[in-house]
């Protein structure tokens, strides 16, 4: 996250070419499915995955973009319905985006309730010659252009740069950040309502609910359930302060600010997004404090009560102390889990200094797994990745082992723990997973409890493939080069 006072354009994917204003809605011919692993004669490319798979947090559908070779489309945006192992094509490069523009590239999509929103680079369709970029939403076969670089922006001016992370919620509200010709140096938050009305809803100079003018928008997040938060810099009586603002429907309420006091007597110096929301309405995020070491994981409930779940300097087990925190993920009602960095401690030689922890507003921080713990499949744990969960008490994470059983794989955390995929494991009909090749930092978890991850494989050239795994079942290879 950037410090206050830096320009928001660093968060943007830039495109300054002028194009025609977006249509209200454009029907396009969407390819129906992938036949095997081909698309209109094209094969999945040798480096097919530009980023980790994403997941629709309501339907559990998996979403990802892939490269293609040997056919007319170099990239495609794919979806795998929850519980399925068959990718379907939403859009491919070359498909019509507007009468003058075609899709050329895609960034990681965001899905909610079956809708998919994404940023795309656009190529001209003859006789047009100007390139561009746009923000789109795909909804049950209907493609809508929400904003186009160079197009008219609500409230005046034209779009200059469009944010690469649009969000959509379960009611079909959509938000995105952009700069405009009327505000070239400042990010503006735009909102497309469920009825299709597009408007600028937060601009530098607007007041927060406490009357403090907003100096700069830094980041924003819209959850699938509809909670909208903004990280901004406010002009206060004590000077500029970062603040986490919550859209209450009647104003932008500062929930946590730079300079606020924490229960341990320290002061907040920096706020970090993303903020994780749990089913009880609590918000969990990492902050930095005016002490060394600085980071802490805090929880803020809907009544404004603030507690520290864990702080740097706390005991992390094995004789070590906590030094930092990864993004929290829902574990169960009111509880979150996360990976903590560890300093010192009695760890096995060569182990990575990270532990898996959990905590909640009414439960103290507890170490769930640590290097040196027995692995469910033999050996001892040596490396733990960031976990991902859906609030049902189960976590999935990438982990590595040592001792008498050495390797890595996808570990499913329950009260007993089990491996969903391991290096050396046979994938029916395809070969074995290779050690050292589990590339996804965090797996994507669908509604059926299956986790998607990217790993290399053998035999062959060790190319990357997308796999889907559930505890107790062999992993299935979904998509691979060729």
Residue 103 located in a structural domain: yes
In this predicted model, what pLDDT tens digit does every residue of 37-52 receive, in sequence order?
344 444 444 445 656 6
Percentage with pLDDT > 90 across the chain: 42
Question: What's residue 31's pLDDT?
Answer: 34
**Which pTM was predicted?**
0.81
Residue 290 located in a structural domain: no
Query: What average pLDDT does the segment 453-462 reach?
Result: 63
Residue 119 banded pLDDT, cuts 50, 70, 90: very high
Asked if residue 262 has pLDDT above 80, the reply is yes
State the DSSP code for 63: E
Higher pLDDT among residues 399 and 189, named by residue: 189
Asked if residue 94 has pLDDT above 80, the reply is yes
Structurally, the chain folds into a number of domains equal to: 2
Residue 457 banded pLDDT, cuts 50, 70, 90: low
Q: Pick the last residue of a domain from 105, 123, 147.
A: 147
Q: Pick the last residue of a domain from 126, 147, 168.
A: 147
Asked if residue 482 has pLDDT above 80, the reply is no
Residue 86 located in a structural domain: yes
Asked if residue 15 has pLDDT above 50, the reply is no
Q: What is the distance, to the nearest Å, from the Cα of residue 210 to the centroid of all Cα atoms in its chain?
A: 30
Q: What is the distance, to the nearest Å, from the Cα of residue 86 to the centroid of all Cα atoms in its chain?
A: 23
Residue 203 located in a structural domain: no
Residue 285 located in a structural domain: no
Parallel, antiparallel, or unpaired for β 62-69 and 42-49?
Answer: antiparallel
Q: Give yes or no for a contact between 161 and 10, defined as CB atoms under 8 angstroms apart.
A: no
Residue 352 located in a structural domain: no
Separation CA 407–CA 473 (nearest Å) = 18
Torsion angle in degrees (nearest 10) through CA of 341, 343, 346, 348: 50
Residue 7 banded pLDDT, cuts 50, 70, 90: very low
Asked if residue 463 has pLDDT above 50, the reply is yes
Residue 444 located in a structural domain: yes
H-type helices in 155-212, by residue range?
none
Asked if residue 298 has pLDDT above 90, the reply is yes
Lowest mean pLDDT among 99-103, 213-217, 277-281: 277-281
Separation CA 120–CA 106 (nearest Å) = 5
Q: Pick the last residue of a domain from 96, 122, 147.
A: 147
Q: Give yes or no for a contact between 471 and 416, defined as CB atoms under 8 angstroms apart.
A: no
Question: What's residue 68's pLDDT?
Answer: 62
Query: What average pLDDT does the segment 283-306 reach?
Result: 91
Lowest mean pLDDT among 31-40, 190-199, 386-395: 31-40
Residue 90 banded pLDDT, cuts 50, 70, 90: confident
State the DSSP code for 53: -
Q: Bridge partners of 133? A: 121
Asked if residue 24 has pLDDT above 50, the reply is no
Parallel, antiparallel, or unpaired for β 476-479 and 75-80?
Answer: unpaired
Segments forming the whole domain that contains residue 134: 26-147
Tell me what the pLDDT averaged over the chain comes to: 80
Residue 291 located in a structural domain: no
Question: What's residue 5's pLDDT?
Answer: 37
């Amino acid at each position: 996250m950037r410090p206050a006072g830096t320009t928001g354009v660093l968060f943007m994917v830039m495109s300054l070419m002028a194009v025609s204003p977006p249509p209200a809605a454009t029907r396009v011919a969407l390819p129906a499915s992938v036949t095997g692993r081909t698309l209109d004669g094209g094969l999945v490319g040798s480096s097919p995955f530009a980023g980790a798979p994403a997941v629709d947090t309501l339907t559990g559908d998996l979403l990802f973009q892939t490269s293609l070779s040997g056919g007319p489309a170099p990239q495609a945006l794919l979806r795998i319905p929850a519980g399925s192992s068959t990718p379907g094509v939403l859009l491919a490069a070359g498909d019509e985006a507007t009468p003058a523009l075609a899709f050329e590239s895609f960034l990681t999509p965001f899905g909610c309730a079956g809708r998919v929103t994404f940023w795309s680079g656009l190529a001209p369709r003859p006789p047009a010659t100007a390139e561009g970029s746009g923000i789109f939403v795909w909804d049950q076969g209907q493609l809508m252009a929400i904003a186009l670089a160079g197009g008219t922006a609500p409230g005046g001016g034209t779009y200059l740069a469009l944010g690469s992370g649009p969000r959509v919620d379960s009611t079909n509200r959509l938000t995105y950040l952009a700069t405009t010709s009327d505000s070239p140096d400042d990010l503006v938050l735009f909102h497309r309502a469920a009825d299709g009305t597009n408007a600028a809803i937060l601009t530098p100079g607007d007041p927060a609910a406490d009357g403090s003018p907003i100096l700069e928008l830094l980041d924003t997040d819209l959850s699938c359930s509809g909670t909208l938060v903004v990280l901004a810099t406010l002009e206060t009586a004590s000077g500029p302060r970062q603040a986490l603002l919550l859209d209450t429907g009647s104003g932008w309420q500062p929930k946590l600010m730079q300079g606020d006091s924490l229960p341990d007597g320290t002061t907040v110096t920096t706020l970090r997004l993303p903020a994780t929301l749990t089913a009880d309405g609590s918000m969990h995020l990492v902050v930095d404090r005016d002490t060394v070491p600085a980071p802490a994981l805090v929880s803020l409930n809907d009544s404004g009560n603030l507690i520290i779940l864990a702080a740097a300097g706390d005991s992390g087990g094995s004789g070590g102390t906590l030094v930092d925190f990864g993004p929290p993920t829902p574990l169960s009602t009111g509880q979150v889990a996360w990976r903590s960095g560890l300093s010192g401690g009695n760890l096995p030689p060569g182990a990575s200094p990270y532990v898996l922890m959990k905590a909640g507003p009414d439960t103290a921080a507890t170490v769930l797994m640590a290097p040196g713990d027995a692995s469910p499949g033999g050996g001892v744990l040596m490396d733990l990745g960031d976990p991902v969960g859906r609030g049902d008490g189960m976590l999935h994470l990438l982990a590595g082992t040592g001792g008498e059983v050495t390797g890595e794989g996808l570990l499913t955390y329950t009260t007993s723990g089990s491996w969903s995929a391991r290096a050396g494991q046979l994938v029916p009909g395809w070969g074995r997973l290779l050690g050292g090749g589990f590339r996804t930092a965090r797996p994507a978890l669908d509604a059926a409890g299956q986790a998607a991850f990217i790993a290399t494989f053998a035999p062959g050239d060790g190319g990357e493939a997308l796999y889907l795994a559930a505890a107790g079942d062999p992993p299935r290879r979904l998509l691979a080069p060729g």
